[in-house]
Structure 1
Amino acid sequence: MAIVYKSKTDAWLLAVLVVAIAVSLFAAIATLSAGSPPVAAFIAVIGVGLPVWLLLSTRYTLEPHQLKVQSGPFKWHIKVADITSITPSSNPLSSPALSLDRLRIGYGSGRSLMISPCNKEQFIRDIEAARRGAA
C-alpha cells in the first residue's frame, strides 16, 4: 500500500511563486498584444505552467520497497533499503521541497535529497517501518 505525503509549503515561497505567475501573465499578455504569439505562449508555459506544476505535484510516495519523489517534471526513486539516514535540515539549496522545514534523506553511496513532508514525524515513522520490513 502506498502512502502519499504532500509537501509542506512556506507562505513566503507561495507568495514568490504567485508574484512570478502574475508577472509572467502580464509579460505574456504584453508580448501577445505586441504581435508575437509564439513568444507569449513560451512565456506563459514557462512562467505560469512550471510554478503551477511544481505547486500541484510536489509529493512523496512511500511504497513498500521504495520512496518516489515528484516535483513537477522531476522524479526520483529511492529504494527504502538504500536509505542510510534521515536528518532535519533547513538548507536552502534547490530540492523537491516547497518549504525550508526539510528532511535530508541520505541514501546509496553518499547521495542525498531534501524533502519537506507536511507531517515529518509520521513520515519518519513510516520510513523506519518500511526499512524494517525491507530488511
Structure 2
Amino acid sequence: MATTYRSKVDGWLLIVLLGAMAVCLPAAFAALAQEQGWVAWLTVAAVLLLGFGLPLSLLFATRYTITADCLQVRSGPFRWRVPLAAITDITPTRNPASSPALSLDRLRIDYGRGRQLLISPRDQAGFMQAIEQACRKAGAGR
C-alpha cells in the first residue's frame, strides 16, 4: 500500500511563485501586442507554459510517495525514484539547494553511492515513521 505526503510550502516561496505567475500574464499580452501571427502565439504559449504552468505544477504536484520498494518523488514535471534498499540515511536540514522541496524545512535522503535528495514533507514525523517501516519491510539497511 502506497502512502503519499504533500510538500510543505513556505510562505515566501508561495509569494515568489505567485509573483512569477502574475508577471507572466502582462508579458504574454505584451507579446501579442508586439508580434503578429504564429510567432506571437508561440511566444505567448512559451511564456504561459514556463511562467504560469511550471509554478502551478510545482505547487500542486510536489509530493512524496512511499511504496513497498521505493520512494517516488514528484515535483511538477520532474520525477525521482529512490529504491528503499539504497537509502543509507535521512537527516533534517535547511539546505537551500535546488530540490523537489517547497520549504526550507527539509529532509536529506542519502542513497546509493554518494547521492542525495532534499524533500520537505508537510508531515515530517509521519513521513519518517512510514519510511522507517517501509525500509524495515524492504530489508533496507537503515
- Fold agreement, TM-score > 0.5: yes
In the alignment, which residue of structure 2 is the partner of 1:99? 103
* Cα shift at 1:20: 0.4
- What value does the CA root-mean-square deviation take over the aligned residues? 0.8
In the alignment, which residue of structure 1 is the partner of 2:125? 121
SS in 1 for 2:104: coil
User: Quick one: distance in 2 between partners of 1:117 and 1:106?
Assistant: 16
Query: What are the within-5 Å matches in structure 2 for residues 25-104 of structure 1?
Result: 25-35=25-35, 36-104=40-108
TM-score of the pair, normalised by structure 2: 0.92
User: Quick one: distance in 2 between partners of 1:62 and 1:81?
Assistant: 12
User: Quick one: distance in 2 between partners of 1:82 and 1:38?
Assistant: 43
User: Quick one: distance in 1 between partners of 2:32 and 2:109?
Assistant: 44
TM-score of the pair, normalised by structure 1: 0.97
In the alignment, which residue of structure 1 is the partner of 2:112? 108
Aligned residues: 135
User: Quick one: distance in 1 between partners of 2:72 and 2:23?
Assistant: 32
Q: Aligned pair 1:9/2:9, yes or no?
A: yes
Q: Aligned pair 1:19/2:23, yes or no?
A: no
Taking only the aligned residue pairs, the percentage that are identical comes to: 53
SS in 1 for 2:20: helix
User: Quick one: distance in 2 between partners of 1:6 and 1:109?
Assistant: 27
* Cα shift at 1:41: 1.6
User: Quick one: distance in 2 between partners of 1:114 and 1:15?
Assistant: 21
User: Quick one: distance in 2 between partners of 1:37 and 1:129?
Assistant: 51
* Cα shift at 1:37: 2.1
* Cα shift at 1:11: 0.5
1:14-55 CA distances to partner (integer Å, 9 max, x unpaired)? 000000000011101111122322212211111111111111
